[in-house]
Structure 1
């Protein structure tokens, strides 16, 4: 058996978004442009970033896609219109992450499932983490738990995300327990 060196993750942030490469950068940008940021108006943020957002029914568990139109150079995001609005918000944030973080590496992203299994590649994992941070910034998340409510359902309703996304975000921020 031979040992093979794992390739390092090489991300080249799109030159269009060098100054907007983190969720915190995007939140500051949204605030500066007058968008609501707690919770963030994610669909308006996508539009401000020059991404066309389309809603249409998609097959099976397909959540969304992001593709660069080869003729116009425009970025077009498609979101599954059959999914719950909270899942759609996560999809939009996830696709924004691909546009900001991975567009220099690829011009097509098709996302079938979020958080479902460990078979995700590093770009999908990074897009999920980026989306969770964009939708549930740590300071806002912690403030809500300490001052408003620590129930998963309440947090999910406030940030307009799924209970599952709240649990994963809570775990990533070091919280334990079913009721946070």
Structure 2
């Protein structure tokens, strides 16, 4: 048996979700794990990322939160159970974005209607864009509009998001017009 220096040993680092940085990376992970991706199952994806999701009644302006437990290091997401299921999906995607993109900056995120009141910061804006891209991937969004329907209501129903989320995503992807 030969001695091998540790620096010379080839290590195969298992792919961890910390290496994932984009919505496309997460869609690829979901596909690899056999999860639904069109539309994406964000609850199952959160679970695959090691995030426990809880649904609890919260004040109406609270959409959700993401916190790292001090004792265990586990991430716990809380979603407002009183909100519409489409809004809950966006909240889950938004909190996943915080875990993937911002966990190095904070161990706790509290989201109040995603800063729709005009107050925002770069992390919230990025989490919203990330969530929209995760829930409505560009290739699926374009395909649906070109082959199924271009009405806001149909797109929202298909991707299980709000009509406002569809309008913002469409604008960010370069669409214009009354229907989109």
Match of 1:152 in 2: 152
Alpha-carbon distance between aligned partners in 2 of 1:29 and 1:125, rounded to the nearest angstrom = 24
Q: What is the TM-score when the length of structure 2 is the normalising length?
A: 0.89
Shift of 1:178: 2.1
Q: Does 1:143 align with 2:143?
A: yes
Alpha-carbon distance between aligned partners in 2 of 1:125 and 1:109, rounded to the nearest angstrom = 13
Match of 2:10 in 1: none
Shift of 1:115: 6.0
Aligned length, in residue pairs: 166
Q: Radius of gyration: which is bigger?
A: 2
Match of 1:78 in 2: 78
Alpha-carbon distance between aligned partners in 1 of 2:158 and 2:112, rounded to the nearest angstrom = 26
Unaligned runs of at least 5 residues, structure 2: 1-15
Shift of 1:114: 2.2
Match of 2:62 in 1: 62
Q: Trace 1:110-149 onto structure 2 (pairs within 5 A).
A: 110-114=110-114, 116-149=116-149
Unaligned runs of at least 5 residues, structure 1: 1-15
Q: Which has the higher contact order (CA 8 A, sep 6+)?
A: 1
Match of 2:5 in 1: none
RMSD: 1.3
Q: Does 1:21 align with 2:60?
A: no
Q: CA 1:100–1:161 in structure 2 vs 1: closer, same or farther (change >3 Å)?
A: same
